[in-house]
Amino acid sequence: MTSFDLVVRGAYVLIGDNWRAAEIGITDGVIAAITAGPLEGAEVITLADDEVLVPGIVDTHVHVNEPGRTEWEGFASATRAAAAGGVTTIIDMPLNSIPATTTVEALDVKRAVAAEKAMVNVGFWGGAVPENLGTLRELHDAGVFGFKAFLAPSGVDEFGHLDAEQLERALDEIAAFDGLLIVHAEDPGVLEAHANDGGVDYHRFVESRPDAAETTAIERVIAVVRRTGARAHILHLSSAAALPALRAARAEGLKITVETCPHYLTISEEQIGDGATQFKCCPPIRDDANRDALWQALVDGDIDIVVTDHSPSTAELKYAHGGDFGLAWGGIAGLQTGLAAVWTEAARREIPLERVLGWMSSATARFAGLDTKGRIAVGADADLVVLAPDATFTVEATQLQHKNPVSAYDGRELRGVVRRTLLAGRTVDIAPGAAPTGSLLSAARP
């Protein structure tokens, strides 16, 4: 009888969209057998009665910030947070590190740093900025998963945004090699027209970044996609007001995908008090009715994926100037809490766990073209999570693994405890100083 490196046995294993009792045989980091068993393994993990086995989360929107702003977040701490939260693959955004990932040299720098520290798999997005238009093919060939662009100021000086003409040029260029543009869609004109003097009142912050900032920018992206035939992806959709235009564009056959984030699905404006800048992000968290509409769009398939947009800074910047929403850093650290937060809210809405994993694992893996991730199947990588879906825990910001102890979920009780994260069939050890276990990923190029 064949003996596997590892056998995982459980009464509830998510295979496709179905829960089955199964034994998973793993050899050389890959799932080699799925049967009713019994299988023989050098190591055997038997799930407890309250545990299920699911594919690891693939989070395609993470800002690691190393090198350059490592005091905000680094590869060691971010990937430990990932593993602790059931995330086995992250794709790193091209900003807020220095250098930004806008050249092949910068990509090499980021890869070298990540290779020494990553506890989970790491891939990279490139950036499309005014200075590197015309050279995107080089980064594409070097294995970035696509290109991020801003249509309004990004928040850091070294990563400029594209104006209307530059957006058109970028999409023309990217269409020529069938690449992907991922867009931070807020319109600079609308933002400027609604700018205010900040302060501690959250509602005033929302007024400074209204729905129209998103709908105007998204309509512009749709128009350029229609003209160029390029593929584009709308990052962190916050405003449900943009959904009708997106629905129509997709029905028309335009290649546009859409993501939203745990904080837009689990928190609403009504819950955010004066000066609570741990909740500041751009675009902003909107009201409860908007949140319901985002959930409906997910259920209906109008939003494709849920990713964290993990974007921390130091606590000093996050709480700058006594909680002034105009001045605090905009970004939410959600890697470790994303799965539990979304699952907690989904359960409240009677949406089953397999749908949550669809949005956060299988669909994100498909979106990134990672064929061997996001599913439990023979031939897939054994990136797996042992989850106790009905167990609960209370988030304590100081106990989370990411670098700075700030969390929008601090004090919340969440459902879904990650008991073990396996990467290529090996349990990830998140103790400080443990050897890196992650691999660097490049986008598949035919």
Residues in contact with Zn ion by the rule CB under 5 A: 309
Say if CB 150 and CB 162 are below 8 A apart: yes
**Shortest distance (Å) from residue 209 CB to Zn ion:** 15
Please state, in angstroms and as integers, the Cα–Cα distance from residue 158 to each residue in 161, 167, 317, following that order.
10, 18, 18
Q: Residue 27 in 3-state DSSP?
A: strand
Instruction: Work out how close the CB of 96 gets to Zn ion at its nearest, in angstroms, rounded to a whole number.
Output: 9
Of the pair 228, 260, the CB lying nearest Zn ion is at: 260
- How far are the Cα atoms of 41, 59, 262, 408 from residue 336, in angstroms, in the given order? 30, 11, 11, 12
Tell me the H-state helices in 286-362: 288-300, 315-318, 320-323, 338-348, 353-357
**Shortest distance (Å) from residue 89 CB to Zn ion:** 17
**Minimum distance of Zn ion from residue 81's CB (angstroms):** 16
Report which residue's Cβ sits closest to Zn ion: 309
How do strand 426-427 and strand 18-27 relate by DSSP bridges?
Answer: unpaired
Minimum Å distance from CB 61 to Zn ion?
6
Query: Which of 309, 381 has the CB closer to Zn ion?
Result: 309
- Do you find a cis peptide bond into 153, omega within 30 degrees of 0? no
User: What is the end-to-end Cα distance of the chain in Å, rounded?
Assistant: 38
CA atoms within 13 A on the CB side of 45: 21
**Smallest distance, Zn ion to C-beta of residue 392, A:** 29
To the nearest whole angstrom, how small is the minimum distance from the Cβ of residue 215 to Zn ion?
19
Query: Given the DSSP bridges, would you call strands 147-150 and 413-423 parallel, antiparallel or unpaired?
Result: unpaired
Could you give the CA distance from residue 159 to residue 280 in angstroms, rounded to a whole number?
20
CB of 435 to Zn ion, least distance (A): 29
Nearer to Zn ion, 186 or 309 (CB): 309
CA gap 13, 422 in Å, rounded: 14
- Whose CA is closest to 161, among 189, 139, 135? 189
- Length of the chain, please? 446
